[in-house]
Amino acid sequence: VVTDYDDCWLQYDRVDDPDRLSAYRRRCLHAYVSEEGPELRAVRQELRVGLDGLLGREPHLWQHPPRSQDGFLAVGRRDNMEVVRHAVDAAEVDGLDEEGYVLRATEWEGQDCVVVTANTDRGMLFGTFHLLRLLSLGEPIADLDVVEEPRAKERVIDHWDNPFRGSVERGYAGQSIFDWETLPDLRERYWDYARLLASTGINGVVVNNVNTEKPDREGANDAIAGMEGWQLLESENLEKVAALATVFRRYGVRTFLSVNYAAPMLVGDLDTADPLEDDVEAWWKRKADELYERIPDFGGFLVKADSEGQRGPYDYDRDHAEGANVLGRALEPHDGRVFWRAFVYSEHEDRAVQAYETFEPLDGEFHDNVTLQIKNGPIDFQPREPVSTLFGAMPETNVACELQITQEYTGQGVHACSHLPQWEEVLEFDTHGDGEGTEVRDLLVDRAGEGFAGVANVGEDRNWTGHDLAQLNLYGFGRLAWDPTLGSEEVTREWAAQTFGRNPSVVETVTRIQEESWPAVIDYETGGIGLMHMMYNGEARLENHYDPGPEEWPEYTGIAEDGIGLDRTPSGSDYASQYQGPWPARYADPETCPEELLLFFHHLPWEHELDDGTTVIQRLYDNCFEGVEAVRALRERWSALAGTVDERRHRRVAERFDEQVVQAERWRDSLVSYFYEYAGVPDERGRVPLD
């Protein structure tokens, strides 16, 4: 099928090594796939496309074991395939969870076989994608033996897509791919999107924005009259949601909706949404029943309540647990889940302290079907933040870590910025929540109901993500959610090989560019020692959070003539004390606070000396300049790939690097002169203009 959009990492380029190719053909050109549920149709479809590309020949699909061949691939269950029983013991599969699988090479009746098996069709689907990934990477399969299950159960992608308007909040890849006007008609692109998600291990999708109604404060910009996200819950729109769910279901992905807390009033005709009112309880139950009637595997709800103008339980003097639990109870009989966001702040002197103060006292009070969805840091997806203090502080609550796949504050669709190293840093952080060695990633894998949510970067653009290199953030989110112990570099390397081909020097160069992109952005957008939120925040949506605008939010940087940074130690807002183990003391002392977070926790004189004797102001200057140099170096490396990466993608990325260099220079110039204006201390190296 010819489409007008990219295959991303599902390129399935022909295997060039002749020995590998013949080994793969021997075992995979013939595929015996059991006839079962919808996911197995997806398995057959993927094998057709994938093997055709990789093996350079159309695979033969069988409904019984082919006897005349040297070998074959078998995808099915033990109970109806002899070759699977031969390869895998009952105990091995019985012990697997519903998404786990076994991949194993075996010899059966003189044939060389590979078996993919699981307890469920979804397991076999995830296993098939795993096998195809190994083939795409050119891995040997003659001794294949993989037993795998996802570490985190919830791996959900959150679309901030505004239905009926087609715009995407913080989206930089064009309009929404979901066309609510034409649904329930299905676009081909939905199927390919579901393939992309399932291939990374993502198992849930929220199809609409957490902002389900436009609060007035947003201005007239895109306040186009008409349908709002909350309306998807109306009975007449459910068939549209149900149609999308049939697509995702085939790929093992459950469909979720963002809902408005006042839905009983907006969608229903109650005059309250008070969670403790019987009518409200009954309304949510009826709505849940109706949803599951139409979408039996519906995932559940995502809720942004009492945050940035969205309504919530505070309207009725109820707390967040009371607010969330009424939804949890409604979804419980159907095994659905409420993702309740912890992103709250209001007129507090230090916004960082607020989520913890609001939610930590409620530990143990949330219904089992509720998951508290916590952004990685206490502010808002800044280039670098310390880890949110809620991780490790709520042992009796199901928690999910919310990561931003889209690059709202890290260069949007223009700058190269892999978020994987950032996520690795977050996941490895030792919260000491349950004593030393309680890393964030350990806290997300304990129970069903825990895991990851990622804010999508997907849109209608041909390359799906605006910037070709940003496809990694989507791919990497799924892979790290599946297994948060995977390293950033490992995932980047496998993405690069599947996306740009197996040429080792291309893979190496692309991997290095991606790995080094984040540190560069931190340097020129923040100065690299713990400052943040110096982005322009104007009305024009596209420049919003993209251009430099340090003067707009002095409260985020604490800039003054005597120095810079915010005091979050006991003498200030005391955010540092919300941490556990050694962190409160470590962060509270500028001598032991990690340099990269220094000004997040401390207001320091401009000439305060860092470990190596450099002053704060000089370090800020140096980092801003180094960030630009680093981007120039990335651009050079990319440019050297000409001729080894296909021309179209090479040119597109090269053009973006040109623009990124220009923007990075603007950022640098804007920040250094802002710092100089307050500090009055000249740059030792004379690079900052003295006026």
Could you tell me how far CA 466 lies from the centroid of its own chain?
A: 16
CA distance 122 to 15: 27
Nearer to ligand GCU, 162 or 199 (CB): 162
Nearer to ligand GCU, 33 or 302 (CB): 302
Characterize 216-231 residue by residue with b for buried, 16 or more Cβ atoms within 10 angstroms of its Cβ, and e for exposed.
eeeeeeeeeeebbbbb
CB 538 within 8 A of CB 546: no
At its nearest, how many Å lie between ligand GCU and the CB of residue 545?
Answer: 6
CA distance 326 to 367: 9
Nearer to ligand GCU, 153 or 545 (CB): 545
Within positions 584 to 613, which residues make up the interface with ligand GCU, using CB under 6 A?
none
CA distance 581 to 292: 44
Nearest Cα residue to 288 out of 278, 298, 275, 276 = 298
Within positions 389 to 408, which residues make up the interface with ligand GCU, using CB under 6 A?
408
Residue 619 touches ligand GCU, criterion: CB under 6 A = no
* Contact letters for ligand GCU, residues 340-379 (x by CB under 6 A): ---x------------------------------------
Residue 311 touches ligand GCU, criterion: CB under 6 A = no
Residue 430 touches ligand GCU, criterion: CB under 6 A = no
Catalytic member of 39, 46, 408, 424:
408
Nearer to ligand GCU, 111 or 176 (CB): 176
Annotate 612-656 with DSSP letters as a single string.
TS-BHHHHHHHHHHHHHHHHHHHHHHHHTTBTTB-HHHHHHHHHH
At its nearest, how many Å lie between ligand GCU and the CB of residue 454?
Answer: 12
Size of the site for ligand GCU (CB under 6 A): 9
Please give the span between the terminal C-alpha atoms of the chain, in angstroms, as a whole number.
Answer: 61
Nearer to ligand GCU, 195 or 375 (CB): 375
CB 381 within 8 A of CB 473: no
Could you list the beta-strand ranges (E) of 315-426: 337-341, 370-375, 398-404
297 is catalytic: no
> 628: which residues sit within 8 A by CB, 6+ positions away?
524, 661, 664, 665, 668
Nearer to ligand GCU, 433 or 459 (CB): 459
> 72: which residues sit within 8 A by CB, 6+ positions away?
27, 28, 29, 30, 31, 32, 62, 65, 66, 111, 113
Nearer to ligand GCU, 101 or 391 (CB): 391
380 is catalytic: yes
Residue 304 touches ligand GCU, criterion: CB under 6 A = yes
At its nearest, how many Å lie between ligand GCU and the CB of residue 373?
Answer: 10
At its nearest, how many Å lie between ligand GCU and the CB of residue 491?
Answer: 24
Nearer to ligand GCU, 198 or 535 (CB): 535
DSSP collapsed to 3 states, 175-212: CCCCCCCCCCCCCHHHHHHHHHHHHHCCCEEECCCCCC
Give backbone dihedrals phi and psi of 174, rounded to 5 degrees, phi first.
Answer: 95, -170
At its nearest, how many Å lie between ligand GCU and the CB of residue 374?
Answer: 11
148 is catalytic: no
Q: Which amino acid is residue 107, in one-letter code?
A: E
CB 75 within 8 A of CB 120: no
* Contact letters for ligand GCU, residues 626-665 (x by CB under 6 A): ----------------------------------------
* Contact letters for ligand GCU, residues 167-206 (x by CB under 6 A): --xx------------------------------------
Catalytic member of 192, 274, 380, 525:
380
Within positions 244 to 283, which residues make up the interface with ligand GCU, using CB under 6 A?
none
Residue 210 touches ligand GCU, criterion: CB under 6 A = yes
At its nearest, how many Å lie between ligand GCU and the CB of residue 170?
Answer: 5
Strands 604-605 and 254-258: unpaired
CB 320 within 8 A of CB 359: yes
At its nearest, how many Å lie between ligand GCU and the CB of residue 169?
Answer: 5
Residue 380 touches ligand GCU, criterion: CB under 6 A = yes
At its nearest, how many Å lie between ligand GCU and the CB of residue 210?
Answer: 5
Angle at 375 between CA 254 and CA 207, to 5 degrees: 30
Catalytic member of 52, 308, 363, 626:
308
CA distance 494 to 377: 27
At its nearest, how many Å lie between ligand GCU and the CB of residue 275?
Answer: 21
Tell which phi-psi region holds residue 578, choosing left (phi > 0), alpha (psi between -120 and 50) or beta. Answer: alpha
CA distance 504 to 366: 49
Residue 533 touches ligand GCU, criterion: CB under 6 A = no
Residue 211 touches ligand GCU, criterion: CB under 6 A = yes
Give the residue numbers annotated as catalytic, written as ranges.
308, 380, 408
Q: Contact positions toward ligand GCU, by CB under 6 A?
A: 169-170, 210-211, 304, 308, 343, 380, 408
